A = this chain, B = another copy of it.
Amino acid sequence: MSTPAAFAGLAALMGDPARAAMLQALLSGEALTAGELARAAGIGAPAASAHLARLAEGGLVLVHPQGRHRYHRLAGEEVAAAIEMLGGLATAVAPARRWPHGEEFRQARLCYDHLAGRLGVALHGALTGRGWIAPAPGGWQATGAGEAGLAALGVDLTAARRARRFACDCMDWSERRAHLAGGLGREIAACCLRRHWLRRLPPLREGDPLGRRRLALTPEGARQLDAALGVRLAA
């Protein structure tokens, strides 16, 4: 099929260390400039420009020129899901001794536009366990209880439904379990940030490709999520 060649081309696109670092940095969901991505990848501007052109031509990133900056972001949720899953396989297959980013990174982080880490999989488990979401063709749908409960939390279900997929699974890289993606995943993350239940942490090091994804649960957030959903993360 077109696939052996297309597959190899896509994998090769991800298979360069510099491009991989760029994609990892873009998993924060932000749109980053070519310069920021060059710093994240640890290469010069000309090399970064060439890499970004290839990523864009390959359909993995979208370019957004704005003044003298060129902003880049991942082309979509499926791209993010594939990167996250490949990262999971990499840690599964390689020794993967320690996590330079500490436990915080496994605890809570962004995966494109939704929540990942222990918090992400705990939320997924709580939503399914309490029957707030139920299996539907191609993903999940909200039940009656779920609509009420999510609305009470402040999740914008109307916005969530506007997404191409309302709710679907995304393989969690560190936990090797599914967390929730799709419009609902995005709106839950947005709600948690808007209500200051989660806050973004600054990168540990300047130019760290993964630093932009770091999140921390606030005391208020821990309280609210426990009360509403029984989500309780081990300290």
Q: Which residues of A contact B (CB under 8 A)?
A: 1-17, 19-21, 24, 58-60, 75, 78-79, 81-83, 85-94, 96-97, 99-101, 105, 125, 128-129, 135, 137-139, 168-169, 171, 173, 176-178, 209-210
Residues of chain B contacted by A5 (CB below 8 angstroms) = 17, 20
Most chain B CB inside 10 Å of its own CB: which residue of A1, A20, A21: A1
Q: Once the chains bind, are A82 and B91 in contact (CB under 8 Å)? A: no
Q: Once the chains bind, are A4 and B16 in contact (CB under 8 Å)? A: no
Nearest B residue to A41, CB-CB = B4
Q: Once the chains bind, are B17 and A15 in contact (CB under 8 Å)? A: no
Can you give 15 contacting A-B residue pairs, CB < 8 Å? A2-B97, A6-B90, A7-B20, A8-B16, A8-B17, A9-B15, A9-B90, A10-B90, A11-B15, A13-B15, A59-B93, A60-B93, A75-B93, A78-B92, A81-B85
Q: Once the chains bind, are A91 and B210 in contact (CB under 8 Å)? A: no
Residues of chain B contacted by A9 (CB below 8 angstroms) = 15, 90, 94
| Minimum Cβ distance to chain B for residue A61 (Å) | 11
Residues of chain B contacted by A93 (CB below 8 angstroms) = 10, 58-60, 75, 79
